[in-house]
Amino acid sequence: MCGIIGINSYKPVSATIIDSLKKLEYRGYDSAGIATLSSGLINEVKSEGRVDILEKNSLVKDMEGTIGIGHVRWATHGLPNSINAHPHSSQNVSVVHNGIIENSTLLKKFLVGKGHKFKSQTDTEVIVHLITENLKSDNIVNSIKKTLKSLHGSFALGVLFKDQPDLIVGARRGSPLAVGYGPNENYLGSDSYALKSMTNKITYLNDGEFCVIKKTHVEFFDEEGKKINKKVLELSSEDQKYDKGDYKHFMAKEIEEQPTTIKNGINEYLDTANNDINIYNFPWKTKDISSITLIGCGTAYHSCLMSKYWFEQLTSLDVSVDIASEFRYRKNRFKKETLYIFVSQSGETADTYAALDLCKKNGMKTCAVVNVIESSISRDSDFVLPIHCGTEIGVASTKAFLGQILILYILTLKLGLLRKDISEKAFLEKLKDLKNLPNLVKQTLQTDNKIQNISNTFNEAKGSMFLGRGFSYPIALEGALKLKELSYIHAEGYPAGEMKHGPLALIEEGMPVVVLAPRDNYYKKTISNMQEVIARGAKVLLITNKSKDEIFSENIWETIEVESTNEDLLPFLLTIPLQKLAYYSALKKGYDIDKPRNLAKSVTVE
Ligand code: F6R
C-alpha cells in the first residue's frame, strides 16, 4: 500500500506535492519520489526513507514544472531503496502505483522480448513499459484502456506523459483513488485527506474507471473507454489540522485523547435526556437479524472479538468473528438474517474492503464501524456507524480501538434492549455506568511512572506473554500486538486457560507475563492460571481493578490497578496500561513510535 498524489496546475507543483506526500505517509514510508514535467522532459527524484529526506534533496528544491506526480511507498516487490521507489519512468511515461500487479512476471517477459529495459525489481515498472508500448499504436485513452485490461491484480495509478504538458491519467481497480478540483488546477490523490488542504470538492473513482485530469476540467471513462459523468462531492471544508501539540509523539497524544474519544461517542449515540441510545436510520428491523458476523484486521479484528463477548452476553444473537483476509477466500454460508459488520479505522483496508464487497455481491446486509467517514468501506456499506475519534496518525491504533469497542458496545446494548434480551432496568444501569466512562478512562490514564519502570523488564526479555480470560482475552491479544509492533519484542496474547495445553512450556525464569485479571466472573480462574505461570518462574505483571478485597496470591512481581466499574466496561480501562507499556518500551529503545518499521497506517494491499 502506498500513497499517490498528482497535480496539474498553472504554478510550480513540487513543494505542494511534497506537502501532500507528508500527509500520505500513513500509507507507507519506506521510500518516496516525485516526477514533474518541464521543458518537455520528465524529471524524476526519488529517495529511500521518509519524505523529509526527499524534501532535503537539492534536486527537489530546484525542480521546475507545473504538472507532476508523487508517491510514498510500502514495499511489496523489491527492496525499499531509491531504485524501487516510485515514480518509475521510461523516456515517455512516468507512473506511480498503489497495489500489486499479479501477472507482472509474464508481462515483463513479453516486454523484454519487445526490447524494453527494466531498472527496478518492482511489479510497477511493467505498467510504464506497457503504456509506452501501447502508445506506439494508440492514443492516450485507448492505450490506457488496453494497458489496464492487460493488468491482473489491484491498483490505483497516476500517469504523466512527456508529450502531454496538460494531462495526468488516474486509474483505479481495487485500490482507492480520488480526484480533487481547484481553481485552474486539478488533483489526483489516494484519498481526500491528502487533498484536503487544496480542495473540498472530490470525486471518487469506482473500480474499473479511469480519468484524464486537465488544468481546467476532468474527464472520466469506464473500463471500455466510454466517457462517463461522475458526481462532485463537497466534503466538510475544515482542514483537519492535527498536530502533536506538546507531545513527543502522536501516539502519546492519541492515548491521552481517549476520554474525548469516549465522550464523542457518547454524545453522538446516547440520548441523555431520555436515557436511550439513538441509532438513527438503522435500515433493518431487529426481527430480520438473527446473527451477526464481525470482520476486521489487526486491532480492528480485536475490536470485533471484544464485541463478540458483549453480543453473546447481552443479546440472544448468534455471533461470529472473522479476520478479513481469511473470510474473503473461504466458502462462506451467506444467510440473509445475518448482519455483517466491518470494523476499520481507515476504512480503506484492502482485505476488509474485499470482504465487504463479497458480502454485497451476495446481497447481505452490511454495516461499517469506521473512523474515516469519506473512506471506501464507509461509502460502500449499507449503513455506517462512525466512531468520531478524529484523525489517528500513530500507526499503532489506540484511540480508534477504544472508539470501535465503544460503538460496538452501544450497538450491543441497543439491540439487546430492542430484542428484549436485556431488561430496561439493566439497560438503564449500564447506560449510567457508560456515562461515567470518560472520567474513569481519564483517571486510569494517570498511572505513568510505574509503567515506565515496568517497561525496562520487558525490554530486556527475549519474549513475553499476555494472558486473559473472557472479556479480557481480546484485550490480552491487543496488548501483545501493541508491544510487538512498537518495541519489536516477541509478545503472545493467549487465553489464560489454554496455557497448560502447550504454551506453558515457554515460561522460564524471569519471563515477563502480563495477566489481566479484573474482578469479574473469571477472576478466580485467572488467578489460578497466574499462579501456574508464577510457579514456573514468570515475572507477573497483574493488571486488575481497584477493590477492597485483597489479592490472594504470592510472588506477583508488579500490580497495576485500574478504576472500577461494571464488568462490561473493564476492558476499556485494562487497555490503557497496555498501550502505555508498549509506548514506553519503544520510547526507551529509541524506536520510531509513530512509524514502526515495516508497517503502514492504511493497509491497501492484500
Ligand atoms: C495495529 C493496527 C493495525 C490495524 C489494521 C486494520 O495497531 O493499527 O493492526 O488495526 O491494519 O486497519 P484499519 O482499522 O484501518 O482497517
Q: Which atom of ligand 1 sits closest to the CA of residue 299?
A: 10
Report whether 135 contacts 95 (CB < 8 A).
no
Task: For residue 332, name the pLDDT band (cuts at 50, 70, 90).
Answer: very high
The pLDDT, as a whole number, for residue 1 is: 67
322 and 370 together in one domain: yes
- Bridge partner residues of 516 (DSSP): 468, 543
Q: How confident is the model at residue 596 (pLDDT cuts 50, 70, 90)?
A: very high
Query: To test ligand 1's pocket by mutation, which of 74, 294, 345, 373 has the most ligand atoms within 8 angstroms of CB?
Result: 345
2 C-alpha to ligand 1 centroid (Å): 15
493 and 560 share a domain?
Answer: yes
Integer Cα distance of 410 and 427 in angstroms: 10
pLDDT value of residue 239? 47
Atom of ligand 1 nearest to the CA of 482: 7
| CATH number, position 421 | 3.40.50.10490
Do 590 and 476 fall into the same domain? Answer: yes
Q: C-alpha grid cell for residue 94?
A: 512516468
- Per DSSP, the three-state class of 450 is helix
The pLDDT of residue 119 is above 70: yes
Q: For residue 202, tell me if it sits in a domain.
A: yes
What is the pLDDT, as a whole number, of residue 355? 97
Ligand 1 in reach of 344 Cβ (< 6 A): yes
- Asked whether 578 lines ligand 1 (CB < 6 A), one says no
Nearest CA residue ID for atom 8, ligand 1 = 397
Q: Tell me if 605 is assigned to some domain.
A: yes
Q: Which one-letter DSSP state was computed for residue 573?
A: H
- What pLDDT, in 10s, does the model give residues 422-461? 999 999 999 999 999 999 999 999 977 789 999 999 999 9
Q: Do 227 and 255 belong together in one domain?
A: no
Same domain, 193 and 279: no
What is the distance between the alpha carbons of residues 402 and 570, in angstroms, rounded to a whole number? 12
- Tell whether 388 and 472 lie within a shared domain: no
Q: In Å, how far are 26, 430, 464 from 189, measured between CA atoms?
A: 14, 44, 41
Out of 302, 341, 346, give the residue to mutate to test ligand 1, the one with the largest number of ligand atoms within 8 Å of its CB. 346
Task: Please name the residue whose Cα sits nearest to atom 16 of ligand 1.
Answer: 344
Q: Where are the beta strands (DSSP E) in 260-316?
A: 270-271, 276-277, 291-296
Question: Which atom of ligand 1 lies nearest, measured to the CA of 401?
Answer: 10
Cβ-proximal residues to 102 (8 Å cutoff; 6+ apart), any chain:
152, 153
Q: How far is the CA of 600 from the centre of ligand 1 (A)?
A: 9
In whole angstroms, what is the distance from residue 82 CA to residue 66 CA? 24
Ligand 1 atom, smallest distance to 395 CA: 8
pLDDT at 513 over 90: yes
Residue 349 Cβ < 6 Å to ligand 1 = yes
Q: How far is the CA of 49 from the centre of ligand 1 (A)?
A: 22
Q: Is ligand 1 within 6 A of the CB of residue 533?
A: no
The rounded distance, in Å, linking the Cα atoms of 87 and 73 is 10
Catalytic residues: 2, 601
Locate the ligand 1 atom nearest the alpha carbon of residue 602 and give its number: 15
- Cα torsion angle, 41, 45, 46, 50, sign: negative
Is the CB of 485 within 6 Å of ligand 1? yes
Final residue belonging to a domain, choices 435, 464, 488:
435
Same domain flag for 170 and 317: no
| Ligand 1 atom at shortest distance from the alpha carbon of 396 | 7
Do residues 494 and 466 touch, judged by C-beta distance below 8 A?
yes
pLDDT (tens digit, 9 = 90+) per residue, 237-250?
Answer: 554 556 888 999 99
Among 190, 295, 299, 579, the mutation site with the greatest number of ligand 1 atoms within 8 A of its Cβ is 299
> In sequence order, what are the beta bridge partners of 155?
99, 174
- Report yes or no on 240 lying in a domain: no
- Say if residue 39's pLDDT is above 70: yes
150 and 134 in contact (C-beta within 8 Å)? no
| Any ligand 1 atom below 6 A from CB of 134 | no
Band of pLDDT at residue 236, cut at 50, 70 and 90: low
Asked if residue 341 lies in contact with residue 291, where contact means CB atoms within 8 angstroms, the answer is no
- What pLDDT, on a 0 to 100 scale, did the predictor assign at position 267? 86
Nearest CA to 178 among 160, 162, 199?
199
Which atom from ligand 1 is nearest to the alpha carbon of 603? 11
- Flag whether pLDDT at 588 surpasses 70: yes
CA of 343 to the centre of ligand 1 (A): 10
Number of structural domains, the chain?
3
List, for residues 140-191, the tens digit of each pLDDT value. 999 999 999 999 988 999 999 999 999 999 999 978 899 999 999 999 998 8
CA of 251 from ligand 1 middle (Å) equals 14
Last residue of a domain, one of 389, 412, 435: 435
Q: What share of the chain is helix, strand, coil (3-state, %, to 5)?
A: 40, 25, 40
Q: Is 544 in the pocket of ligand 1 (CB under 6 A)?
A: no
Q: Separation of 347 CA from ligand 1 center, angstroms? A: 10
More confident residue, 291 or 58: 291
Which residues make Cβ contacts (< 8 Å) with residue 528, sequence separation at least 6?
Answer: none
- Cβ-Cβ contacts under 8 Å for 502 (sequence gap 6 or more): none
Task: Using alpha carbons only, give the angle 137, 106, 162 rounded to the nearest 5 degrees.
Answer: 40
Mutate which of 305, 349, 602 for ligand 1 pocket (most atoms within 8 A of beta carbon): 349
Give a yes or no: residue 420 inside a domain. Answer: yes
Is 26's pLDDT higher than 70? Answer: yes
Q: Is residue 241 part of a domain?
A: no
Domain check: are 166 and 228 in the same one?
yes
CA of 367 to the centre of ligand 1 (A): 18
Taking the alpha carbons of 523, 399, 310, 278 in that order, is the dihedral positive or negative? positive
Task: Collect all residues with Cβ–Cβ distance below 8 Å to 230 and sequence separation of at least 6.
Answer: 203, 205, 209, 220
Q: What is the CATH number of the domain that holds 18?
A: 3.60.20.10
Residues 534 and 579 placed together within one structural domain of the fold: yes
359 and 455 together in one domain:
no
Q: Which three cell numbers stand for residue 111?
A: 516486454
The minimum-distance atom of ligand 1 relative to the CA of 400 is: 14
- The pLDDT value given to residue 281: 83
**Between the CA of residue 228 and those of 168, 212, 224, what are the distances in Å?**
17, 12, 11
The yes-or-no verdict on residue 63 having pLDDT over 50 is yes
Strand, coil or helix: 540: strand
Q: What is the DSSP letter of 174?
A: B
DSSP strand E in 49-177: where?
Answer: 67-73, 88-89, 93-101, 153-161, 168-173
User: Which residue's CA is minimally distant from atom 10 of ligand 1?
Assistant: 299
Q: Are 178 and 203 contacting, i.e. CB atoms less than 8 angstroms apart?
A: yes
Which residue is associated with the grid cell 461522475?
Answer: 230
Dist. CA 62–CA 60, nearest whole Å: 5
Ligand 1 centroid distance, CA of 300 (Å): 6
Which residue owns the Cα nearest ligand 1 atom 3? 298
Burial 434-465 (b: 16+ CB within 10 A, else e): beebbebbbebbebeeebbebbebbeebeebb
Q: Quick one: which H or E segment has residue 513?
A: strand 512-516
**Is residue 236 exposed (0-12), middle (13-18) or buried (19+ Cβ within 10 Å)?**
exposed
Q: What residue spans of 515-602 are helical by DSSP H?
A: 523-535, 570-589
> In which residue are the cell numbers 439513538 written?
278
Instruction: Select from 325, 344, 369 the residue to mutate for testing ligand 1; criterion: most ligand atoms less than 8 Å from CB.
Output: 344
The rounded Å distance from CA 299 to ligand 1 centre is 5
Residue 551 inside a domain? The answer is yes
Average pLDDT on 572-581 reads 98
**Which pLDDT band holds residue 274 (cuts at 50, 70, 90)?**
confident
Centre of ligand 1 to C-alpha 298, Å, is 5
User: Which protein residue has the closest C-alpha to ligand 1 atom 5?
Assistant: 298
Inside any domain, residue 328: yes
Q: How far is the CA of 605 from the centre of ligand 1 (A)?
A: 13
Q: Which of 234, 257, 292 is the last residue of a domain?
A: 234
Q: How far is CA 138 from the centre of its chain?
A: 39
Residue 440 belongs to some domain of the structure: no
Residue 297 Cβ inside 6 Å of ligand 1? The answer reads yes
- Residue 603 CB less than 6 A away from ligand 1: yes
| Cα–Cα distance for residue pair 601/190, rounded to 1 Å | 13
Range of the domain at 95: 3-234
Quick check: CB of 604 below 6 Å from ligand 1?
Answer: no
Give the CA distances from residue 242 to residues 197, 238, 250, 334, in Å, rounded to whole numbers and listed in that order. 12, 11, 9, 41
Q: How far apart are CA 208 and CA 592, in angstroms?
A: 37
Same domain, 255 and 374: yes
Flag whether the pTM goes above 0.85. Answer: no
Burial of residue 257 (number of CB atoms within 10 Å: 0-12, 13-18, 19+): buried
- Which of residues 517 and 193 earns the better pLDDT score? 517
> How many of the other CB atoms lie within 10 Å of CB of 227?
10
Q: Which three cell numbers stand for residue 391?
A: 484523525
Q: Is the peptide bond before 259 cis (omega within 30 degrees of 0)?
A: no
Give yes or no: residues 374 and 291 share one domain. Answer: yes
Contacts of 262 (CB under 8 A, 6+ apart): 402, 403, 406, 437, 438, 441, 572
Q: 109 Cβ partners below 8 Å, 6+ apart?
A: none
Number of H helices, E strands in the chain: 20, 27
